[in-house]
Amino acid sequence: MKNKFIKIASILSFAALFNLSAQAQTADFEDIQLQGANSVKIPNTGTVNSNFTSGSCTFSNSYAISFGGYWNSGWAYSKVNDTITEGFTNLYGSYANKGFNNSNNYAVSQNETFIKINQNTLTGLYVTNTTYAALSMKNGDAFAKKFGGISGNDSDWFKLTINAYQNGNIKTEKVEFYLADFRFADNSKDYIIKDWTFVNLTSLGSLDSLKFTLTSSDTNQFGLKTPAFFCIDNLMTNADTATFENLNLPFGQDYWNRGSKVFSEEYRSGHAYFQSAFTVSPSYNYWSDGFAISNSNDSTTKGFENLFSSANGKGAKNSTNYAVSNGNSGFRINGVPVDANLKSIGLYINNCTYSYFSMKDGDGFAKKFGGVSGNDSDYFRIIIKGYRKNLKFKDSVIFYLADFRDSDNSKDYILKDWKYVELKFIGDGFFDSLSFELQSSDVGQFGMNTPAFFCIDNVEYKTTTSVNDVTKNNAVKIYPNPSTENIYVNYESDFSTINIINLQGKTILQSTNKNIDISGLENGIYIAQIITENGVLNSKFVKL
């Protein structure tokens, strides 16, 4: 017991002597997990749910953005005229080559899809196989068997079942149609549907929706092995016909498989928060705004396909991870003491490989910096602006990613290595956000021609905070104090996070609960930092 009291006394004596605690924070992105080498983190989960209409019918569609993006379920429409290419890459082609009666457009469906019908009575529709499914059944592929097998005698089949619904209830009436049938004793009668074939639906009676279900003789424990896709055209009601000819295809494309949506995600490193946005459009998908977190090491490949690599293929100080900024961007910082005295603030900046080679050599959109003669006064720069709470502007710093303005061409440069930028404008306290505005001498009628991308790493900020001062706030109580295993933070108002910080300024623990397990901490003095909507509160405690 005596030794324990001596230990407590020693710690408290040290706290009294250590009047100022230097708190250093770095957003270095190493605390953000990437999947592997040459990986990038941008929003990559979520689905776009949309629909399209033709005639009195509505067709639902779902598109997922994971794994680079794919048509997830429902309906697409197409004018693909490819009856030759095998495999998944020819997903949207009809085996009949065009739409019904040589029309341009038709619809492509996955398994278990629905159509909403705004008229009560159907006459019928035309059906055919997709080229993908037909050639898989005809020849077999890596996933599915050749129909009929090696001998040609296997009794294979691929069937479409059409169910009717009324007011959300399935009706007993249904229609079955075989897209392929090899069950005949006479193999010469075996077939795989190639032409548009009419399917009569008058037997379904009054209805408000249809469900389409595919089944096959070729299955395993995971379900169908036959590609579960088919095509329809000219769905006829008692009032009109869904021909799909009213639907416009995206410019330069032969099919439509997705709607439009923007996905946003926020990444945290240190006390800094970085937004990122990914846009899905009917034409293509793209990273549209904010920051991507990358560990790409490709410093040689030119062009837009190498968008996520720094110019030297690594992070600042030879680290692995860094952030790539898309155009004009910014980030915010939370969790820094409001009573802190700023010691320093800065970050490392570099070009990305894409913009570096564009300025160095020129490309299809942007000029070679310096021009043919090398005397053009080109530049590529960032205006870095600091803001206080409520976006109150403080000041700005200009940093040049490339500068060819000097009369001595030997001094021209395009940044290829990481450069530390000290932000001296934050001299009288802390900031809560930064913004980055890109400017270039190479502009056209649509804005900058220079690729609007750059890299940042190691956002470093250091403050000095009085250990005595942080214990003065009577609104925060910690007990038991000292403690060996658990502490309770007694704070009555709303808060978002409690950070446990050591005397070197490093965040050791984070919690959203008032009860915090500190048994894993080393013995010593710590600060409990309570993040609230109106500011940051601090209180000291001792871990024994």
Q: Please give the pLDDT value at position 335.
A: 55
CATH class of segment(s) 2-19+467-543 = mainly beta
Q: Please give the pLDDT value at position 440.
A: 98
Range scoring the smallest mean pLDDT among 13-17, 206-210, 249-253, 363-367: 13-17
pLDDT in tens, 403-453: 999 999 999 999 999 999 988 654 444 567 889 999 999 999 989 999 999
- The answer on pLDDT for 21 being more than 70 is no
Q: Please give the pLDDT value at position 367.
A: 97
pLDDT (average), residues 34-60: 95
**Residue ranges per structural domain of the chain:** 2-19+467-543, 25-39+261-465, 47-256
- The answer on pLDDT for 17 being more than 90 is no
pLDDT (average), residues 110-115: 98
Quickly state the pLDDT bin for 339 (edges 50, 70, 90). very low
Per DSSP, the three-state class of 215 is strand
Per DSSP, the three-state class of 229 is strand
pLDDT (average), residues 297-301: 97
Q: What is the CA radius of gyration of the chain?
A: 32
> What average pLDDT is seen over the chain?
88
| Most confident segment among 162-171, 416-425, 489-498 | 162-171
Q: Please give the pLDDT value at position 503.
A: 77
Per DSSP, the three-state class of 387 is strand
Reference 157, options 132, 135, 184, 139; nearest CA is 184
- The answer on pLDDT for 23 being more than 90 is no
Cα-Cα end-to-end distance for the chain: 13
- The answer on pLDDT for 4 being more than 70 is no
Q: Please give the pLDDT value at position 467.
A: 41
- The answer on pLDDT for 237 being more than 70 is yes
| Most confident segment among 9-13, 121-125, 133-137, 326-330 | 133-137
Helix locations, 130-192, DSSP H: 131-139
Per DSSP, the three-state class of 195 is coil
pLDDT (average), residues 465-470: 42
CATH class of segment(s) 25-39+261-465 = mainly beta
Same topology, domains 2-19+467-543 and 25-39+261-465? Answer is no
Q: Please give the pLDDT value at position 454.
A: 98
- Of the two residues 490 and 164, the one the predictor is more confident about is 164
Reference 61, options 70, 53, 49; nearest CA is 49
Q: Please give the pLDDT value at position 490.
A: 87
- Of the two residues 523 and 494, the one the predictor is more confident about is 523
- Of the two residues 401 and 272, the one the predictor is more confident about is 401
Q: Please give the pLDDT value at position 386.
A: 82
- The answer on pLDDT for 16 being more than 90 is no
Q: Please give the pLDDT value at position 79.
A: 97
CATH architecture of structural domain 47-256: Sandwich (2.60)
- The answer on pLDDT for 338 being more than 70 is no
Residues 89 and 71: beta-carbon distance below 8 Å: no
- The answer on pLDDT for 11 being more than 50 is no
Strand-by-strand arrangement of the 507-511 sheet: 507-511, 497-502, 524-532, 535-543
Backbone angles phi, psi at 517, to 5 degrees: -80, 115
